[in-house]
Chains A and B, each alone.
Chain A
């Protein structure tokens, strides 16, 4: 009878642990710390399960897909009500996207950002991730304001790109926040930005990386493989690729035609609402298995099922 010896891999490295919140009555969220591949507890330690953040926008999203509008209803008109509802749906963190600061979306400024961040911090006791509109100058303006509004609350602030990492990194350093380093699906660029941020003085437990999410059918495989490579390199001992990873799954998944189109698509695509939700769920499943530590989601049903899957993977 063949004797099966379960093959166990011994890694030298470990994903850094990063803590959000946990100050002044705010709930604490710790991610990372794994010294093995995702969920492989038979050979290593996986101290914290991946977290789910629910995305909240700082204004009423003008062109969200129908199933999302239906699911959230009136709270889409108020970031505070929206964040509270997100907490009810079981979010581990709120991911506040300051989209209205985008020049095309209202061009709001520091004052508005400061107010929304303060309101949300007051309304929920979850850790908060604040994301800019992804336009370098505006990011600098609103994220610095957000940083000051949340001083000492250990927010995560993003995104730091190669262009603006100095400003965002410095403000994180000054106000005790975690910086999110975003790079375009490339391992070397990811590592380089992590090095630049740590040269600024940010410690290993103060950086998250966003490898850039490609949704299912829209580059998922690139993100998947770059994340596997980053994770493996980290486990082999490279501290500069060992930051926990955050993936904006909801945002990417729901901008695709497969999620948005209710008519004018082939019948073989099936029912829009069901399809769109599964699209987001499968994007999440793929990236969880590739090493995501924080998944930012949009649809409450996705949150519910991804939570089930994470708990089963973690059991």
Chain B
């Protein structure tokens, strides 16, 4: 959590020696709080105070970065239990698990297909975030070779899965630099794994299925080695234990400021599900309920497209709804005779009307006006959806060039704009559509004569 100037001041020497260039320690503290100067400028600050200060300034859920500079997964640093309280900040990372027992050729094919996969939705591209490679062979050399091969094919972030520190060391030699996530330290191997994390400057996952106290103990021990970037695997695999355990960890971190569990969580829905669809469902639940990284054991476009959409939905900032880009949107394959309908660029309004036209089988031209993401009534009330705006949009996007008629349907809620709009668009006939999107199909059936 960001500290205030007063909070920072408490840790300073309070001698006002001015060596930092500021007249007082308090003035310096204020600047540090504003992030305009760095705390290290105060040379009199003891190492102890500095450590305490850093600990106090740490977010309740540590931000963890996996991967290199170009492609990385950033998870953690969440601040709320429910997205409506503020927003969820760092979208769940979706990672696909490979095993080093699979022939390298097939691994590389999979890697290529998954790394290239991207799907467009409301103007953004959604994609997978990385690969996990599991040392299923239990052989260090095979593991290292597989990691090297995958690394040669993709710059997406990697997670290295092995219990054996020797195998991990061999794989790390091939995977660094690039900050792979070490998975995982357990109660038997944690010291050696922690040493590897320190040496390679990598984040590390800790795992324990013996309850949260055991997990917290491990995380704390690892943290004492000087490692900040930790990921938790509480071993909760199925729907029920996942929801319960992940909720408890999130609450401990956010509400109790319980540091030993203040880290993002990694899940393996494929291990808690008996089929691909159930794996997708559990992964979907985990997007909403508190997973930072989800490791998938299956990949197909039909499974991943819905999952990526789920993540997009849940991680949308509720205060800033997704806006649709203004312009002419084609619903189906419209012809010059097809209807022209006007709407706003509030995503929900847009989706409602686009969905209804789609469902009713009306290929049409949907003219999306820039109402700054407000709905029909709200934007009209705010003066952002008036006759001038509609007329301008119709002219700017050259709607007339696409159709051989001059009929345009406006939302029923802004029927009052009709007169003004007729003045603004003298060539057009203004038709007042229904108030609710759901009625547009029926409206067109009755009133659209082309």
Closest to A314 in B: B240
Q: What sequence of 0s and 1s flags, for each residue 97-108 of chain A, a beta carbon within 8 Å of any chain B beta carbon?
A: 000001110000
Question: How far is A256 from B316 in the complex, measured between Cα atoms in Å?
Answer: 20
Asked if A175 is an interface residue, CB under 8 A from chain B, the answer is no
| A286 and B358 within 8 A (CB) | no
Report yes or no: A214 in contact with B310, Cβ–Cβ below 8 A: no
Q: Is A282 an interface residue (CB 8 A)?
A: yes
A268 in contact with B310 given A42-B244, A225-B83 (CB within 8 Å): no
For residue B361, CB closer than 8 A to chain A, the reply is yes
Task: Please state if A224 and B313 are interface contacts (CB–CB under 8 Å).
Answer: yes
Taken residue by residue from 206 to 248, chain B's Cβ proximity to chain A (1 for < 8 Å, 0 otherwise) reads as: 0000011100110010000000000000000011100110011
Known: A2-B213, A228-B82, A269-B119. A285 touches B351 (CB 8 A): no
Q: Closest residue to B253 on the A side, CB-wise?
A: A7
Q: Counting CB contacts under 8 A, is B142 at the interface?
A: no
Residues of B within 8 A of A281 (CB): 277, 280-281, 284
Contact B213 A278 (CB under 8 A): no
Partner of B244, one of A40, A103, A218, A308: A40
In the assembled complex, the CB of B1 is this many whole angstroms from the nearest CB of chain A, namely 18
Inter-subunit contact B305/A214 (CB<8 Å): no
- Residues of B in contact (CB 8 Å), total 66
The answer to whether B300 touches A2, judged by C-beta atoms less than 8 angstroms apart, is no
CB interface residues, A 210-237, toward B, < 8 Å: 214, 216-222, 224-225, 228-229, 232
> Which one, A7, A219, A228, A272, contacts B251 given CB within 8 A?
A7
Give the chain B neighbours of A42 by CB distance below 8 A: 244, 248
- Give bound CA distance, A269 to B301, whole Å: 6
- Looking at the assembled complex, report how far the CB atom of A62 sits from the nearest CB atom of chain B, in whole angstroms: 10
Q: Which residues of B contact A134 (CB under 8 A)?
A: 438
- Rounded to whole Å, the gap between the CB of B240 and the closest CB of chain A is 5
For chain B, what secondary structure do more than half of its interface residues adopt (helix, strand, loop), or is it mixed? helix
State which of A6, A218, A275 has its C-beta within 8 Å of the C-beta of B212.
Answer: A6
Contacts of A256 on B, CB cut-off 8 Å? Answer: 355, 358
CB distance from B277 to the nearest CB of A (A): 5
Produce 1/0 per residue, B247-262, CB < 8 A to A.
1100110011010110
Confirm or deny: A82 has a beta carbon within 8 angstroms of a beta carbon on chain B.
Answer: no
- Let me know if A271 and B300 touch, CB within 8 A: yes
Please give the distance in Å from A258's CB to the nearest CB on chain B: 8
Interface residue? B402 (CB, 8 A)? no
Near B by CB (< 8 A), chain A positions 268-312 give: 268-272, 274-275, 277-279, 281-282, 285-286, 289-290, 301, 305-306, 308-309, 312
Chain A residue numbers with a CB within 8 Å of B442 are: 102-104
B305 touches A305 (CB 8 A): no
Cα distance, A315 to B238, chains bound together (Å): 10
The reply to whether A305 and B348 contact each other, CB–CB distance below 8 Å, is no
Q: Which residues of B contact A9 (CB under 8 A)?
A: 251
Q: Are A104 and B445 in contact (CB under 8 A)?
A: yes
A214-B306 contact, Cβ under 8 Å, with A104-B441, A255-B355: no
**Is B149 at the interface (CB under 8 A from chain A)?**
no
In the assembled complex, B337 has its CB within 8 A of some CB on chain A: no
Chain A residues positioned under 8 Å from B355 (CB to CB): 218, 255-257
Interface check B285, CB cutoff 8 A: yes
How far, in Å, is A211 (CB) from chain B's closest CB? 13
A313 close to B239 (CB less than 8 A):
yes
| Total A residues in contact with B, Cβ cutoff 8 Å | 65
Knowing A4-B212, A4-B252, A63-B361, say if A308 contacts B278 (CB, 8 Å): yes
- B180 vs chain A, min Cβ distance (A): 27
Q: Is A165 an interface residue (CB 8 A)?
A: no
A289 touches B301 (CB 8 A): no
Q: A282–B314 contact, CB under 8 A?
A: no
Partner of B289, one of A3, A219, A289, A308: A289
Given contacts A4-B252, A232-B82, A282-B307, contact A224 B285 (CB under 8 A): no
- B-side contacts of A260, CB under 8 Å: 358-359
Any A CB within 8 A of the CB of B288: yes
Q: Establish whether residues B305 and A268, one from each chain, have CB atoms under 8 Å apart when the complex forms.
A: yes
Residue of B nearest to A284 (CB): B281
**Within 8 Å of chain A (Cβ to Cβ): is B401?**
no
Residues of A close to B220: CB separation below 8 A? 2
Quote the shortest CB–CB distance from B138 to chain A (angstroms).
31
Asked if A270 contacts B302 (CB within 8 A), the reply is yes
Query: Across the interface, which residues of A come within 8 angstroms of B280, CB to CB?
Result: 278, 281-282
Closest B residue to A286 using CB positions: B288
Q: B84 contacts the other chain (Cβ, under 8 Å)? A: yes
User: Which of B252, B284, B316 sits near A221, CB closer than 8 Å?
Assistant: B316
Residues from 407 to 450 in B contacting A, C-beta threshold 8 Å:
438, 441-442, 445
In the assembled complex, 29 residue pairs joining A and B whose CB atoms fall closer than 8 Å, in A order, are A1-B213, A2-B216, A3-B213, A7-B252, A39-B240, A39-B243, A63-B361, A104-B442, A214-B348, A216-B309, A217-B121, A217-B313, A218-B351, A219-B351, A256-B355, A260-B359, A267-B301, A268-B119, A268-B120, A270-B302, A274-B300, A275-B302, A275-B303, A278-B277, A278-B281, A281-B277, A281-B284, A289-B288, A289-B289
Starting from the known contacts A42-B244, A214-B351, A260-B358, 6 additional A-B residue pairs (CB-CB under 8 Å) come to A4-B211, A224-B83, A278-B281, A278-B306, A305-B281, A312-B240
